Chain A
Amino acid sequence: MNIKLVHILELLILNTSVFLYCLFLSLSTALLFRSSSLIRPLAVQKKDRDCPYLISAKIHATPSNYAGSGSKAASLHWTGERILSIALLGLAPVAFCYPGPAVDYSLAAALTVHGHWGLGQIVTDYVHGDFKIKMANAGLFLLSTVTFAGLCYFNYHDVGICKAVALLWSK
């Protein structure tokens, strides 16, 4: 009984305080930025032509909601990343049991793309600004290209990735 009363009291206090706070916000906003809107809420101001209401909650609607041309690119990229990770995981025991050129080139491709996508996420997280993002991604693309070229060169002209690891561990 006691606890229920306390809950009800909490609710009341919270309710009133939230309402008063929202009221304060709307009043102060109206007073500071759109002083006439409180006096004449039905009047449509030039910059409020799109939202003639006192307060509108601005939201980001996902493109597929209001535009017909939604893109699944980001979602597919995410799925691709996971599939590649699983493929790379499966490649490890295969490389151990069946070393050879097929596995060597598969490893070269899988490792390069996995690293490229991983570093790409780091760029997305820490690099800001259109130009800087473009430059960072260009540099990353260059690095991944050189990496793949180097690994393929090694597979073709040298002992290959599987043999290289085996040799490294033999001593």
Chain B
Amino acid sequence: TLLTTVARQGQCLSRSQFGVLYRHAVPMGTTANEEMNKFWAKNTRLNRPVSPHISIYKWSIPMLMSISHRGTGVALSSGISAFALAALVLPESYPYYLDLIHSMTFGPQFLAFSKFALAFPVAYHTFNGIRHLAWDLGKGFKIPEVYRSGYIVVALTVLTSISLAAM
């Protein structure tokens, strides 16, 4: 209740209960973007150290899943770009290089594992992407819902990756 009291007090302040202190709201001439740039420019110029943040904050499932969504996105994008670059640069055709890889006879477990390794980031990014789209519709923001949808995404990812690796 102390917290709600504080929140209510904060609202009262902005409604100028203490009228003499916050009588006027003045729009700034700069945009938020410009203010952000000014912040970074000043602080990098003064060579100020950054307070520890991600090195000290306790990791949570939603945090992990969020950065994994970004990580898988970067990995997949890099893979696609590397593939596109290879297509432009390499002299031979795709079936040629595919046969070259297959001729190296790695064994069925290795092939299944590499299929799993390829399918996993695609599946994770796809399912977590759907979770993001649900949030964009305003659904599923309650903390239990966030965790529940997160577990579902991970379960679906593992199941899908295993099924795809078996194909």
> Known contacts A50-B26, A58-B28: does B74 contact A154 (CB below 8 Å)?
no
Contact call A22/B88, Cβ cutoff below 8 A: no
Quick one: closest B residue to A92, CB to CB?
B126
> Known contacts A61-B27, A164-B94: does B126 contact A89 (CB below 8 Å)?
yes
Could you tell me the distance in whole angstroms from the C-beta of A69 to the nearest C-beta in chain B? 13
Contact call B5/A149, Cβ cutoff below 8 A: no
Chain A contact residue count (CB 8 A cutoff): 53
B70 to chain A: which residues have CB within 8 Å? 122
Q: Is A11 an interface residue (CB 8 A)?
A: yes
Q: Most A CB atoms within 10 A — which of B26, B87, B95, B102?
A: B87
Quick one: closest B residue to A118, CB to CB?
B73
Majority SS at the chain A contact face: helix
Q: Is B80 an interface residue (CB 8 A)?
A: yes
Contact call B21/A55, Cβ cutoff below 8 A: yes
Quick one: closest B residue to A59, CB to CB?
B25
Q: Is B139 an interface residue (CB 8 A)?
A: no
Quick one: closest A residue to B36, CB to CB?
A128
A interface with B by C-beta (< 8 Å): 7, 10-11, 14-15, 18-19, 22, 26, 50-51, 53-61, 65-66, 82, 85-86, 89, 92, 111-112, 115, 118-119, 122, 128-130, 143, 146-151, 153-154, 157-159, 164, 167-169, 171
Q: A157-B93, A169-B115 given. 18 additional CB < 8 A pairs?
A: A10-B1, A50-B26, A55-B22, A59-B25, A92-B126, A111-B80, A115-B77, A119-B74, A119-B77, A128-B36, A129-B44, A130-B37, A147-B81, A147-B84, A149-B88, A151-B87, A167-B98, A169-B167
Q: What are the 7 A-B residue pairs with the smallest beta carbon separation, nearest first? A: A150-B84, A115-B77, A128-B40, A61-B27, A154-B87, A147-B84, A147-B81
Q: List 21 A-B contacts (CB under 8 A).
A: A15-B9, A57-B22, A58-B25, A65-B27, A85-B133, A89-B129, A119-B73, A119-B74, A122-B70, A122-B74, A128-B37, A128-B40, A129-B41, A129-B44, A147-B85, A149-B84, A150-B84, A150-B86, A150-B88, A159-B94, A171-B111
